[in-house]
Amino acid sequence: MFFYFLRRFGVLVPTFFGVTIASFAFIRLLPGDPVLLMAGERGLTPERHAELLKQFGFDRPLWQQYLDYFFGIFQGDLGNSLVTKKPVLEEFFTLFPATLELSLCAIVFAMVFGITAGVVAAVKRGSWFDQSIMGTALVGYSMPIFWWGLLLIILFSGILKWTPVSGRISLIYFFPQVTGFMLIDSLLSGQKGAFTSAVSHLILPTIVLGTIPLAVIARQTRSAMLEVLGEDYVRTARAKGLAPSRVVGLHALRNALIPVITTIGLQVGVLLGGAILTETIFSWPGVGKWMVDSIFRRDYPSVQGGLLLIAVIVMIVNLIVDLLYGLVNPKIRHTGG
């Protein structure tokens, strides 16, 4: 297992270098030089321009700039936001818990409903129930989630007035952020109604962000279950006279879940991409909305830092998923992989 970990980790190192180069290149590929970009529309005198170039080190050779950038990363220095002047790293991690909370809720939502739907569809293969579940899953998979979010807002916030339109919690509540997770913090605060408010703000974004993963997981679970249900050991278990629920739940599902785990891991990138749209629609103060805002504000250091951090997070999560996969499936860790 340890060598499996080392091997997987070894593959990540060159990718990490590549990602730093890509995010370094990002700001240099923009038309115009970085100082002019920072100055924005105000314009600069040529002297001031040269001075700033020197001050930021843009007059030095590219490789030197890259090395500075690279070693800066390890000291947590990703530059400062042009808008707030605060360090990008600090900005990112102030907002990240909001995205993490939303993504975790979405993936739990998707797993609970997706796996259940997939198992039921596989067991009742060919029935109208199976067909309608899979039909719905394909609709979910084809969903433009930004529109789906707007529809849910029209229905639940506009017509039924059940849920608020935007934000993480009602403005009447104020309490210190302990974990950064609104659900936990609102409970810790002990204020009446705070937790309910947090939940009601979270429901719609969770559904919107979870829709596509839910559909993918349901489809994957169904086909994995169908494959496993045809295996000899399942037939043996049935022949032994085990209860059908035990055969499906214990023998089949446990093995069917192995490929599903990978699918869930692959959804992390989808989630972070979806977070951009979901957070924009619901004004959710997370890193997705921050990235979009930074792009529009031409706050390039923030975009650059955000790209790097998000890519690293995706890489780490994929590594964890791979390791989990190796843990549940011994075949993988012993052969190549």
Q: Residues with Cβ < 8 Å from 9, sequence gap 6 or more?
A: 319
The answer to the question of residue 40 lying near other proteins (CB under 8 A) is no
Give the interface segment with other proteins, choosing from 36-44, 86-94, 187-195, 314-322 (CB under 8 A): 314-322
| Least distance CB 47 / other proteins (angstroms) | 29
For other proteins, the binding residues in 6-35 under the rule CB under 8 A are 11, 14-15, 18-19, 22, 26, 29-31
**Binds other proteins (CB under 8 A): choice among 98, 309, 311, 321:** 311
Q: What's the burial of 160, exposed, middle or buried (CB within 10 Å: 0-12/13-18/19+)? A: exposed
Give the interface segment with other proteins, choosing from 43-51, 74-82, 97-105, 295-303 (CB under 8 A): 295-303
| DSSP-derived secondary structure for 210-275 | HHHHHHHHHHHHHHHHHHHHTSHHHHHHHHTT--HHHIIIIIIHHHHHHHHHHHHHHHHHHHHHHH
Nearer to other proteins, 44 or 292 (CB): 292
Q: How far apart are CA 244 and CA 310, in angstroms?
A: 44
Tabulate helix, strand, coil % of the chain (nearest 5): 75, 0, 20
Q: Alpha helices of 86-127 — where are they, by DSSP H?
A: 88-123
For other proteins, the binding residues in 125-164 under the rule CB under 8 A are 135, 138-139, 141-144, 146-148, 150-151, 153-154, 158
**Binds other proteins (CB under 8 A): choice among 36, 39, 315, 332:** 315
Q: Residues with Cβ < 8 Å from 63, sequence gap 6 or more?
A: none
Nearer to other proteins, 237 or 311 (CB): 311
For other proteins, the binding residues in 55-74 under the rule CB under 8 A are none
The answer to the question of residue 277 lying near other proteins (CB under 8 A) is yes
* 275 and 102 Cβ atoms separated by less than 8 Å: yes
Task: At 97, list the tokens.
Answer: 């818990």
| Least distance CB 317 / other proteins (angstroms) | 10
Angle between helix 88-123 and 194-229 (nearest 10) = 50
Q: Which residues pair with 80 in a beta bridge?
A: 87
280-301 in b/e form (b: 16+ CB < 10 A) is bbbebbbbbbbbeebeeeebbb
Nearer to other proteins, 206 or 318 (CB): 318
| Least distance CB 329 / other proteins (angstroms) | 19
**Binds other proteins (CB under 8 A): choice among 291, 301, 305, 333:** 291
**Cβ count near 177 (within 10 Å):** 14
| Least distance CB 33 / other proteins (angstroms) | 14
Q: Which residues pair with 87 in a beta bridge?
A: 80
Q: How far apart are CA 145 and CA 151, in angstroms?
A: 10
Contact code string over 200-239 relative to other proteins, x by CB under 8 A: -----------------------x--xx--x---------
Q: Which of 251, 158, 152 is nearest to 211 (CA)?
A: 152
Nearer to other proteins, 115 or 228 (CB): 228
| Least distance CB 38 / other proteins (angstroms) | 15
Q: What's the burial of 33, exposed, middle or buried (CB within 10 Å: 0-12/13-18/19+)? A: middle
**Binds other proteins (CB under 8 A): choice among 272, 282, 301, 321:** 272
The answer to the question of residue 98 lying near other proteins (CB under 8 A) is no
Q: Report the interface residues with other proteins, using CB under 8 A.
A: 11, 14-15, 18-19, 22, 26, 29-31, 135, 138-139, 141-144, 146-148, 150-151, 153-154, 158, 223, 226-227, 230, 269-270, 272-274, 276-277, 280, 291-292, 295-296, 303, 307, 310-311, 314-315, 318
